[in-house]
Structure formats: C-alpha cells, structure tokens
A and B are shown apart, each in its own frame.
Chain A
Amino acid sequence: MNFFANLAHGFSLLFQPQNILATFLGQLIGVMVGILPGINASMAVSILLPLSFGLSPETALMLLAGIYMGTMYGGSITSILLRVPGTSTAAVICLDGYELTRQGRAGLALGITAIGSFIAGTFSLIVLMTLAPTLARAALAFGPPEYFALIFFGLLAIAGLEEGVVRGLIAGCLGLLLGTIGVDPVTGVARFTFGRIELLDGIDFIAVLIGLFAISQAIMNLERIRSLELYRGRLTGMLPRWREFKEALGSILRGSVLGTIVGILPGVGATTATFLSYSLEARLAKDKSQVGKGDLRCVAGPGSADNAAAGGAFVPMLSLGIPGSETTAVLLGVLMIHGIQPGPLLFTKQTGLVWGLIASLWVANFLGLVLATAGVRPLTQILRLPMPVMSAFILVTGFVGAYALNNNIVDVWIALFFGVAGYIMRRVNLPIAPLILGLVLGPLAEKSFRQSMALSRGDPSIFFTRPISAAVLGLGLATVILPFLWTLAKRAWRKGARS
C-alpha cells in the first residue's frame, strides 16, 4: 500500500464511531488537563491508562494520544490569561503572554498561539508521515548492537539535556535496574524478586507511572496549589489581523521546525523545545526592550514549538519503538499492554493501528484549534473545580488504576512506594523522565546487549565496529560531552574577556 492509501485506510478506521468519539474525548480532556495547573499530560495519560483495558488498541491509543496533543493546546491558556502555566511546556509563554493580557490583548495572544499550534502541529504531522516510515524501513536492517546503541543514545540524550548529566544517568540506571526484576526470559532464573511471587513478572511499569506521576503530584498539589480565580476580562480579537499574523509568522515557522527536531530526539520533550524557541525569539527580536513585555513573537514561537514537539515525539516512538517524550513512553506501554511489540515492524505489521493513529492526530490537531479558540470561556470553567476534589479524584483513580492491573493490592503498594519516590526525586533534583525511559526500554536494552555479546562471543567491540552502532553511540556521547565542553569554552572565553 502506498502513502495515500495508508492514510485513507487510517481515516477509514478513525471514522468508526468509537474511534472518532475517543479522539474527540481525548482532545477535550487534554485541553482541560492543560488548563489545570499541576496536572500534566503524563499524569493524565497514566491515570486514564487503565481505562484503555476495555478498549481496542486503536481506540485506546487515539484517546490517549488525543489527551497528549490536547494538553499542548490547553497549557498556554492559563499561562496567557492568569500567568499560571497549565503545563511545564507553557511556562515560558507566561512571560509575554500575560503581559499581552495586561495590555488588553489576551484574545490576540490566545488566537495567535492557537493558530501557531495548529500550523506547528500540521508541520510535525507531515514530518511524521514522511520520516517515520522511512526511518522504520531503515531500522529493519538494525541488528541487536544497533538497537542497544539506539537505547543507549536515548538515555544519554535525555540525560545530556537535563540540567545535570550525572543525575539524568543515575535516574536512567535506576530505571534499567528496575527493569531487571522478574524472571529472566532467556534462562528462566528469578532475579531480584526477594522471594516474592508477585515480583516474578517484574514490576508493572504502569504502577510505577501512577506512583511517580499521579500519586506523588496529587499529594503535592494538596499542599501547593491554590484555587485560581477565573479570567473575567474581554476575549475579543482572537482572529489576528494580517499585519499581526505576518509579525508572528516567522516565529511560528521557526518554532515548528525547532519543536519538531527537538521532539524527534528521544526523551527530550516539549518543555525543552519551548525554552529553546523562546531564547531564539528573544535573540532574534529587533527591539529587545519589548522582550518580556508583551512581544507577540515570544508567545507565537514557544506556543508553536510545544505542539510541534508533541508531533515530533511520535517519530521515534512509531518508527523505532523509542519514546520521544515521557508521555510517548506511556503510550508505548499501551501498545505493550495490548500485546503489540513496538519497533520498526509496527509500520508493516500494524498498518491500520499506525495510520489510524496518524489520522486521529490530524483530527485532534484541528479539534485543538477549535477548542483553544471557541472553547476558551466554557473550558476554563474547570478552574472552578477545587484542587482538593481533583486531588481526591486522582488518588482514588490511582488506587483503582494500579489495582486493576492484576486485581492485586500489591500493585497499589508499589504505586504508593513510587509516589513517595517521586517526591524524593523531585526534592533532590533527580529527573523522572530517564527513569521511565530506562524502565520501559530496559528489557529491550538487556535483550539487545545479550544478543550482541553472544554474536561477538563476548567481545564488546561489536558496538564500535559496526558503523551504524558506532555512529549512534558517538552521537549519544556527543550529547553528553558537547554541552560540557561548551560550558568550559564559555568559562574560558569569559575569563579571557575579563583579563
């Protein structure tokens, strides 16, 4: 089947009533989650993941991917109107977005962000449709060393882009170690189970996700988040004039390209994309005195970059089975729950599922535009919901979600354990994303490592003598070493300038 036939097949699947309903619901929930501070896409997807047990893989993926895309649209709304970022991706949008609101141009800021998000989403989906199948075809030639190198790259990339490489790697190693718990698939030996039968199947990563994202955050929100006032000002002029659109177009396009590239990098995610886009727009601004004081371009760029990154994150997920962000790591889990092995074969063996998902992303992108413009006033009413009610709802859903995995209370205790761990990790600044990546990809990493070592009869040089593997490993090491060298060079340059 060719490209257009595949897409048509995807749309025919999407237009089945349950799938279109799931896409719409996902987008609606996503925008509302985005509006609510303290609740992010990973949390919403983890908490609603158990709901997917009763759905087909296609419908489940469309619902959860819709939530992911929707949060990107919703996150900027409270940033602009109330100076409270709904999601971490929208944190930088506060700076100039809220200034525009204070100047009475809230409608314009929301309108340009929604339009920019739509353009960026469209761009990233075109890249997804063209690049992912090509990448998947190329990846079919990958052997175990290449796979191991790719996972290694993912972990290094995510660690390298976190504030501290060492902390990122610690979290990644912890995730990999957790992935080794259970019966070894090759030899059948029970490993690190401490005699507990419940651990023979390994630690259910959904219980870990529920703990790290939902329970820990919900409990923290009880002490941190205060209820917000609703925005009562006028919301007119959402459709920008041609002059205003022209002013923002360059930023939107830059945000789209930058966001898509950052999104494709395994594990990096949309927050980095928005911060990079803001800093780019601030540097390119002709009148730098306006930056931070309501510069439309500094709203349009990051507002577009987050949606582009969300679309881009699907490229490594669908083509290589490597998540591009925390949330796509959870989505990979959805595939595994339904017995579908993520990886390059997905495009050939699960054509309907992949293209149905892509079709749903197109529709979700359009629905996001509609909801983030026409639906702002009614959707922000969700801010009336007191945070304690929301937290209580998440805590109970977290319990049921973890319990439903195996109808066993042990999984709920595991979720609570990781709920505590989630707080401690935040407190000592250990990032969570590498842990998730390590946990999800750990078993595949170990399998590829062992197969590679068997191929080479124990010679580790196999990872460096095969060109693709060597190149990917080199790239991974570069993501860790280059920022370090860059900091050293900057320090030396500053010293030189001072002397």
Chain B
Amino acid sequence: MVDWLKIFIGLVLITISALWIDLSLHLPFPSFARVAKVGPAHFPLLVASLLALLTLIWLAREYHKKEGEKEVHGVRLIPWYLGYAGYITITPFLGFVPSAFLLVTAVVASKTKGPWGSRLGKGLLAAAVITGLEWGIFQKWLGVPLPVGFFSFWGGKA
C-alpha cells in the first residue's frame, strides 16, 4: 500500500533541496585559492544535492511501506496544533498570563475525566499553579520580559 504522506514528505524534501541548490547558485561562488574567498555556496550546495539524492533513494525503496508513529492518528492532533498556534497568536495581544491561563484551563478541562464542573475546577487550579510558577520563575527570577499585551499591571514587555 502506498504511503502518500511519505511521498508528500519526499516531495517537500526534494523541493527544499532544489530551493537550497538554486539559492546557493546565486551566492558568490569563488575559487578555493584564498581562505577569505572560499565560497559560502559550496557546502550547502553539496549537502542539498546529497539530500535530494538520498530522498530519491528513500522514496524509491520505501514509498509503499507504512511505518513509524501509528498509535496516534495525525488528524486527531490537528486541533491541538491549531490551538497552540492560536495561543501563540493571541499572547502578544492578550499577554502571557491570561493566554497561558486559558491554554492550561482548556487543555486540562478537555482531557481530564468527570463532570464538567469538576473538570473546569481542575483546569482552573492547574492554570493558576502553572501560570504562577512560570511567571514567577521567568519574569521575576530570570527577568525575562514576557509579553503583557493590553494589560501591563504584572510588568513585562508591552
């Protein structure tokens, strides 16, 4: 049976190689005669060509083999990845504390068992502990200016 994802990934890898080869060919390509002139294109060109060759061998040999991670279907992960992307998007506007609070509450409440009230309670408790811990360590102890968004009363980077 053909593994279409593998073929797709193979094509992506070949595209990356082609892009790298093309961009390398547009870089200065001098001789090796002087140390300062050893081109910035040689090494990436070599590696990209090797990557393309290896990908072709890989596809030719294994395009029909379905293997690797089987326990979790990728489709089930899409909402999680999209949710995390949403969290990254809103954090600069909403600030680290509220958005992290929301993320933890959502994750814990949706994945624990029991009635909704109890799940929400667990989510809020976990969110308070985790957000507080992260904020305390990074903002207060290490001095990382975490995004504050529209709310600036907890200090950080607006």
Residues of A within 8 A of B (CB): 50-51, 53-54, 164, 166-167, 169-170, 173-174, 176-177, 180, 184, 186-187, 189, 191-192, 215, 219-220, 222-224, 386-389, 391-393, 395-397, 399-400, 403-404, 407, 409, 412-413, 416, 419-420, 423-424, 426-430, 445-446, 449-451, 453-454, 456-458
Taking chain B's interface residues, is the majority helix, strand, or loop, or is none over half, making it mixed?
A: helix
Q: What is the number of contacts between chain A and chain B, taking CB atoms within 8 Å?
A: 191
Whole-angstrom distance between the Cβ of A387 and the nearest chain B Cβ: 8
- Are B44 and A386 touching (Cβ within 8 A)? no
With A54-B142, A177-B16, A458-B33 given, is the CB distance from A393 to B130 under 8 Å? yes
**Would you call B44 and A392 a contact (CB within 8 A)?**
no
Report the minimal beta-carbon distance from A447 to chain B, rounded to whole angstroms: 9
Q: Are A223 and B76 interface neighbours, CB within 8 A? A: yes
Q: Are B100 and A396 in contact (CB under 8 A)?
A: yes
6 of the cross-chain contacts (CB-CB < 8 Å) are: A50-B144, A166-B54, A177-B51, A391-B111, A396-B130, A446-B43
B13 CB within 8 Å of chain A: yes
For B110, list chain A residues within 8 Å (CB).
Answer: 388
B33 and A416 contacting across the interface, CB-CB below 8 Å? no
Determine the residue in chain A with the shortest Cβ distance to B51.
A173
Answer whether A223 and B35 are a contact pair too, CB < 8 Å, given A396-B131, A416-B84: no
Q: How many residues of B contact A (CB 8 A)?
A: 73
Determine if B32 is an interface residue (Cβ-Cβ < 8 Å).
yes
Contact status A191-B84, CB under 8 Å: no
For A458, the chain B residues whose CB sits under 8 A away are 31-33
Contact B42 A453 (CB under 8 A): yes
Q: How long is the Cα–Cα vector from A192 to B54 in the complex, in angstroms?
A: 21
Known: A191-B40, A400-B96, A403-B144. Contact between A392 and B103, CB under 8 A? Answer: yes
Q: CB-CB < 8 A to A445: which residues of B?
A: 43
Contact of A403 among B50, B107, B146 (CB under 8 A): B146
In the assembled complex, which residues on chain B have CB atoms less than 8 Å from the CB atom of A429? Answer: 67-68
Residues of A within 8 A of B39 (CB): 187
Contacts of A164 in B (CB 8 A): 58, 62
Name the one of A176, A393, A419, A424 contacting B47, with C-beta atoms under 8 angstroms: A176
Say how far A110's CB is from chain B's closest CB, in angstroms.
28
Taking a contact as CB atoms closer than 8 A, the residue among B58, B68, B108, B157 that contacts A166 in the complex is B58
Residue B9 at the A interface, CB < 8 A? yes
Q: Which 8 A-B pairs have the closest CB atoms?
A: A458-B32, A388-B111, A429-B68, A184-B40, A173-B51, A392-B107, A426-B69, A392-B104
Closest residue of B by beta carbon distance from A429 = B68
A53, A423, A449: the one contacting B74 at CB < 8 Å is A423
A192 to B26, CA, bound (A): 11
Given the known interface contacts A428-B68, A454-B35, the answer about A170 and B130 at a Cβ–Cβ threshold of 8 Å is no
CB within 8 A of A399: which of B61, B100, B122, B126?
B100
Q: Is the CB of B23 within 8 A of A191?
A: yes
